[in-house]
Amino acid sequence: MKKGHISVNTENIFPIIKKFLYSDHEIFLRELVSNATDACQKLNSLKSMGEYKGELGELKISIALDEEKKTLTISDNGIGMTAEEIEKYINQLAFSGAEEFVEKYKDKTDAGIIGHFGLGFYSAFMVADTVEIDTLSHADGSEAAHWTCDGSTNYKITKGKRKTRGTDIILHINEDSAEFGTKIKIQSLLDKYCRFLPVSIEFDEKVVNNTKPLWMRTPSELTDDDYISFYKELYPMAEAPLFWIHLNVDFPFNLTGILYFPKIKNAIEAEKHKVQLYSNQVYVTDNVKDIMPEYLMLLHGVIDSPDIPLNVSRSSLQADGNVKKITGHISKKVASKLADLFKADREDFETKWEFVDVFVKYGMLSEEKFAEKAKNFCLVHNADGKYHTIQEFIDLSKTNQVNKDKKTVFLYANSKEAEFAQIKEAQERGYAVAIFDGVLDTHITGYLEQNFEEITCKRVDAAPVDQLVEKDEETANALSEDETKALQEAFTKQIADETYEVKTEALSPNSSFITVTEDEFMRRMQEMSKMQGNAMFGAMPQKFNFIVNTNHPKAKKFLAEKPKAQKEKMSKAFRLALLAKGLLKGEALFEFLKAEENNL
């Protein structure tokens, strides 16, 4: 028997591991099963190199829980260890590096350091008072060795009982970690962290992992059904994905994975954190914000790379050149995939656009390189239901929608229903109107104006239809100057609401008599203010223009009415205009409808 001290010149290594290295205690099982996987794979490598002459058999890992004794055992039939190797790999705790680590981080609250210290095994002491190792090396003539430690720096090595090659790690679960002494909890941890490890894992006499997940297989041997089935395995409650990208890179970094395009509509936040990050098939995290741009967070799936630098607890990424390269590569692959799908079958692409819309526009607003490619397959759907690329829609608008500044007026509506009347009038003039009713379309108009200099964007209700395109044309006024002034003053007096500014315009006799509009610039400022919590401009009040068409036949009729009838008709005209705009609400709407009901 041999006794000794773990070669770390401090008595505080275990509290530091518990408090700072592995704040999430559940990862102990990931670390221990990963070590067992490594032990099996090392033996397999030795066999392939001819350095191990024995029979491999079926390499596997077994997890056994004794709820009564409160022990958890992780067993493998891998490379095993001698007593001398226990001294080297367990007791010396990654040699002098551990002492340096402890000194540097003992007073820190975040151990943000790359994990080359070999401390994974010691995560066991987060949940166990005592940990045992029973191991037998693969080397001919080896004797089994048994190591035990009670969580202090003291250890004891004696002869072991193991008869076959491999290692048993036995954890005596402490009272504070009783939750890890139940089969339900252990199964959930295996499902989370170990479901795709490359060595077979048994728990309760059942294999709990897929040793060759889809992303590790060759794309040419896979069918669409294979990809869809794997997606269902990852996200059991989700609808089938639209399409996917199979990543397989070996230079200048190693990267495999499958990224799926889910059916996204408007719930952007709900779709984030769905990409799982693995390192050599070991689950790390679903928080991949440091490796993927914001817009790529909308994808679902798996990324696996041994070249992604992790901190010692594998809980977060470290700043590294490879991370930027991987990010850039993924973004490029996504753009290329969408471009290829658009070119290969535009009709099919159009049927999927309602789900791809948010993703593409998010990318265009977030990343310039993506936007440069995406503008060629970003679709605009016309009020008549037809799809166009951005440039196609601009070219369509050029035929009839060029203003006095020689800019093409890009007309759009945020709601086909709410702005139906304005859309209808615009279409009667031969104008093309795009429907921008997505969650990001408030920003897309600004993007279009910045990146397509020949256009100016206007919502279809930003002005009376005759003025939307702002051509250099003058229309004769059917009313005299005094009559126009009298009509404006009468409506202003009747409305008596600072929210609405009464204006008179000499429009076409076929245009509406009354139009309520909202200035394009002011509306955009208000929308921006709301999205930023009113931080930029404060709470900006809504202002509307109440435009009276002095060329409409009703203009003279209203002026000719007696005061009482004029007042009633102006009041009704005002409320009808608000009703058409969706602005008549609450008590005002109730009173108006009640009055109309009485007139039946």
Calculate mean pLDDT across residues 470-484: 80
pLDDT, tens digit, 9 for 90 and up, residues 426-460? 999 899 999 998 888 888 998 999 999 899 999 99
Pairing of strands 455-459, 408-413: parallel
CA dihedral 258, 264, 266, 269 (to 10 degrees): -30
Q: For helices 481-495 and 553-560, what crossing angle results, to 10°?
A: 70
SS3 of 44-95: the string is HHHHHCCCCCCCCCCCEEEEEEECCCCEEEEEECCCCCCHHHHHHHHHCCCC
What's the whole-number average pLDDT of the chain? 84
Produce one character per residue of 489-506: b if its CB has 16 or more CB atoms within 10 Å, e if not: ebbeebbeeeebebebbb
Q: How far apart are CA 158 and CA 426, in angstroms?
A: 90
Average pLDDT, stretch 495-520?
A: 84
Q: What is the mean pLDDT of residues 193-207?
A: 94
Lowest-confidence segment of 295-304, 316-325, 476-485 by average pLDDT: 316-325
Q: And the tokens for 99?
A: 């002492």
Q: In what order do the strands lie in the sheet with 408-413?
A: 433-435, 408-413, 455-459
Q: Which two tokens stand for residue 44?
A: 């397999």
Say if residues 429 and 465 touch (Cβ distance below 8 Å).
yes
pLDDT at 168: 97
- The C-alpha atoms of residue 257 and residue 305 are separated, in whole angstroms, by 8
Phi, psi (rounded to 5 degrees) for 287: -100, 90
Amino acid in the structure at residue 430: G
| DSSP letter (8 states) at residue 561 | S
Q: Write the pLDDT tens digit of every residue in 377-428.
A: 999 999 999 999 999 999 999 989 999 889 999 999 998 888 888 899 899 9
Of 4-13, 298-307, 425-434, which range is least confident? Answer: 4-13
pLDDT tens for residues 147-177? 999 887 788 999 999 999 999 999 999 999 9
Listed range (20-29, 106-115, 381-390, 413-422) with the worst mean pLDDT: 106-115
Domains, the chain, with CATH or none: 2-207 (3.30.565.10), 214-344 (3.30.230.80), 378-438+453-467 (no CATH), 481-598 (1.20.120.790)
Q: What is the pTM of this model?
A: 0.77
Q: Is 520 helix (H, G, I), strand (E, B) or coil?
A: helix
pLDDT for 105 beyond 80:
no
Give the count of beta carbons closer than 10 Å to the beta carbon of residue 600.
4
pLDDT at residue 523 in the model: 75
